[in-house]
Amino acid sequence: MRVVVGVAVSVALAVVAVLALGAVPTLIPALALAAAAPALTRTDVAEHRLPNRLVAPALAAGIVGVGLGWLVSGWNAIPVIAAAAYAGVLLVLALFGGMGMGDVKLAAGLGLASPSALIALGSPLLAFLLGGVAAVVVLVRSGPKARIAFGPFLLAGYFGALIVVAIVRLS
């Protein structure tokens, strides 16, 4: 049953990515993230880690997507800047103990999968908004030593931004 739900979620996220981005090279990392999202979410919630075996393919797909995008339609610096900025911010938080390195690597992959400013800015904004609300709830219920898995919020922010882009694109 878990596999069926995971596949259904991946397919739904892939449809959102196709509707938001269309048939462009930056669809490649978005589809890789859609495929990995259920396993990343399940693992992070259960173990508070984002394994390299799940994050690395998304990073590789992001590099391929940026490279193919450059060949097809010219250089777009937004994904590279988004990856560096998003991962850089989370790296600073990780150095102070607020994030894990899996979150940093996932943020880089999400940045590489962000071909527009709306996605590049909306993704972390939504992630921190949703994660912040969840953190407050957990803090109130469980106290200051409680932790939350942030990977699911990173993914929710990215796919939430794609939903906004898809709605705008289809209207």
Which residue is it, tokens 């800015």?
121
Q: Say if CB 62 and CB 79 are below 8 A apart.
A: yes
What is the structure's pLDDT at 142? 87
DSSP letter (8 states) at residue 144: T
100 to 96, 121, 147, 148: CA distances (angstroms): 10, 21, 11, 11
Domain boundaries, the chain: 2-170
Mean per-residue pLDDT, 55-60: 96
Contact 48, 149 (CB under 8 A): yes
Structure tokens, 54: 């799940």
**In this structure, is the dihedral angle defined by the CA atoms of residues 17, 19, 20 and 21, taken in order, positive or negative?**
positive
**Residue 51 CB coordination number (10 Å):** 14
Query: Residue 129: what pLDDT?
Result: 97
What six digits make up the tokens of 132? Answer: 């912040």
Residues 134-159 pLDDT 10s: 999 998 998 888 889 999 999 999 99
* Mean of all residue pLDDT scores within the chain: 94
Question: What pLDDT was estimated at residue 27?
Answer: 95
Both tokens of residue 46? Answer: 């259960």
Q: Which of 166, 62, 170 is nearest to 114 (CA)?
A: 62
CA distances from 125 to 14, 72, 120, 143 (A): 21, 29, 9, 25
Question: DSSP character for 98?
Answer: S
pTM of the model: 0.94
Cα separation, 44 vs 51, in Å, equals: 9
Instruction: Give the pLDDT confidence score for residue 16 in this predicted structure.
Output: 96
pLDDT tens for residues 84-109? 999 999 999 999 988 899 999 999 99
Residue whose tokens read 């994904």: 79
Q: What is the CA radius of gyration of the chain?
A: 15
